[in-house]
Amino acid sequence: MDLDLHCPVCGSPVTPLQENHAPEGAAVPWFRALCLCGNCGQMKIDGIMRKTGPEIVHFHPACTLHGLIPVVTLLPLQEWKCTKCHRDMRVTGGKILHRTFDPPPPLSWDTFRPAPAERLA
Protein backbone atom coordinates (compact mmCIF):
# COMPACT_ATOMS: atom_id res chain seq x y z
CA MET A 1 0.00 0.00 0.00
CA ASP A 2 1.54 3.30 -1.05
CA LEU A 3 1.05 6.17 1.35
CA ASP A 4 0.22 9.64 0.08
CA LEU A 5 1.90 11.62 2.87
CA HIS A 6 2.80 15.26 3.26
CA CYS A 7 5.44 16.64 5.59
CA PRO A 8 3.86 17.46 8.98
CA VAL A 9 6.16 20.51 9.23
CA CYS A 10 6.15 22.26 5.84
CA GLY A 11 3.33 20.44 3.99
CA SER A 12 5.48 19.31 1.04
CA PRO A 13 4.93 15.83 -0.40
CA VAL A 14 7.33 13.29 1.14
CA THR A 15 8.92 10.24 -0.44
CA PRO A 16 8.40 7.10 1.66
CA LEU A 17 11.69 5.16 1.74
CA GLN A 18 10.30 2.29 3.82
CA GLU A 19 6.76 1.46 4.98
CA ASN A 20 5.31 -0.92 7.57
CA HIS A 21 1.59 -1.52 7.99
CA ALA A 22 -0.70 -3.28 10.43
CA PRO A 23 -1.63 -6.82 9.38
CA GLU A 24 -4.82 -7.31 7.38
CA GLY A 25 -7.88 -7.18 9.63
CA ALA A 26 -6.10 -5.45 12.54
CA ALA A 27 -8.33 -3.53 14.94
CA VAL A 28 -6.26 -0.36 14.42
CA PRO A 29 -4.90 0.09 10.87
CA TRP A 30 -1.59 1.73 11.82
CA PHE A 31 1.40 2.54 9.63
CA ARG A 32 5.01 3.57 10.14
CA ALA A 33 7.10 5.12 7.39
CA LEU A 34 10.65 6.31 7.00
CA CYS A 35 10.28 9.34 4.74
CA LEU A 36 12.33 12.00 3.01
CA CYS A 37 11.11 15.58 2.71
CA GLY A 38 12.94 17.84 0.26
CA ASN A 39 12.80 20.75 2.73
CA CYS A 40 13.00 19.13 6.18
CA GLY A 41 15.13 16.02 5.54
CA GLN A 42 14.63 12.46 6.78
CA MET A 43 11.94 11.64 9.35
CA LYS A 44 9.96 8.77 10.83
CA ILE A 45 6.18 9.12 10.63
CA ASP A 46 3.65 7.02 12.59
CA GLY A 47 -0.05 7.19 11.96
CA ILE A 48 -3.44 5.59 11.46
CA MET A 49 -5.19 4.90 8.16
CA ARG A 50 -8.60 6.61 8.14
CA LYS A 51 -11.26 6.45 5.43
CA THR A 52 -10.23 9.98 4.44
CA GLY A 53 -6.53 9.03 4.21
CA PRO A 54 -3.52 8.71 6.49
CA GLU A 55 -3.59 10.61 9.79
CA ILE A 56 -0.20 11.42 11.31
CA VAL A 57 -0.09 10.69 15.03
CA HIS A 58 3.63 11.11 15.72
CA PHE A 59 6.79 11.98 13.83
CA HIS A 60 10.36 12.86 14.56
CA PRO A 61 13.15 14.17 12.37
CA ALA A 62 16.58 12.62 11.99
CA CYS A 63 19.70 14.21 13.45
CA THR A 64 21.80 15.46 10.53
CA LEU A 65 24.86 13.77 12.07
CA HIS A 66 23.51 10.58 13.70
CA GLY A 67 20.24 9.66 11.96
CA LEU A 68 16.94 8.60 13.52
CA ILE A 69 17.95 6.12 16.23
CA PRO A 70 19.39 8.45 18.92
CA VAL A 71 16.65 11.09 18.59
CA VAL A 72 14.21 11.35 21.50
CA THR A 73 11.00 13.40 21.71
CA LEU A 74 10.94 16.20 24.27
CA LEU A 75 7.65 17.81 23.23
CA PRO A 76 5.45 15.79 20.82
CA LEU A 77 5.34 17.14 17.26
CA GLN A 78 7.47 20.16 18.25
CA GLU A 79 10.81 19.41 19.94
CA TRP A 80 13.46 16.64 19.85
CA LYS A 81 17.04 16.02 20.97
CA CYS A 82 19.83 13.79 19.68
CA THR A 83 21.23 11.84 22.63
CA LYS A 84 24.66 11.55 20.97
CA CYS A 85 25.51 15.16 20.06
CA HIS A 86 22.91 17.03 22.21
CA ARG A 87 21.57 18.77 19.10
CA ASP A 88 18.13 20.30 19.67
CA MET A 89 15.57 20.21 16.87
CA ARG A 90 12.47 22.41 16.96
CA VAL A 91 9.63 23.26 14.61
CA THR A 92 9.65 27.01 14.08
CA GLY A 93 7.81 28.84 11.32
CA GLY A 94 7.22 25.75 9.17
CA LYS A 95 10.87 24.63 9.38
CA ILE A 96 12.91 22.30 11.55
CA LEU A 97 15.71 24.23 13.20
CA HIS A 98 18.78 22.27 14.31
CA ARG A 99 20.66 23.91 17.17
CA THR A 100 23.85 22.58 18.73
CA PHE A 101 24.68 23.13 22.37
CA ASP A 102 27.99 22.16 23.84
CA PRO A 103 27.57 19.73 26.71
CA PRO A 104 28.98 20.95 30.02
CA PRO A 105 32.64 20.12 30.61
CA PRO A 106 33.32 16.94 32.58
CA LEU A 107 33.92 17.37 36.29
CA SER A 108 37.45 16.93 37.56
CA TRP A 109 39.22 17.16 40.88
CA ASP A 110 40.55 20.58 39.83
CA THR A 111 36.98 21.87 40.02
CA PHE A 112 36.86 21.04 43.74
CA ARG A 113 40.17 22.63 44.82
CA PRO A 114 39.99 24.13 48.32
CA ALA A 115 40.05 27.89 48.55
CA PRO A 116 43.40 29.50 49.44
CA ALA A 117 43.89 30.08 53.17
CA GLU A 118 43.92 33.88 52.79
CA ARG A 119 40.37 33.82 51.39
CA LEU A 120 39.09 31.70 54.29
CA ALA A 121 40.15 34.19 56.95
pTM: 0.74
What's the pLDDT band for 35 if we cut at 50, 70, 90? very high
What's the pLDDT band for 14 if we cut at 50, 70, 90? very high
> What's the confidence (pLDDT) of residue 111?
60
- What is the pLDDT averaged over residues 13-24? 92
Instruction: Report d(CA 59, CA 65) in Å as an integer.
Output: 18
90 touches 97 (CB < 8 A): yes
Give tens-digit pLDDT for 66-91: 999 999 999 988 999 999 988 899 99
Neighbour count for residue 40 (Cβ, 10 Å) = 22
> What's the confidence (pLDDT) of residue 116?
62
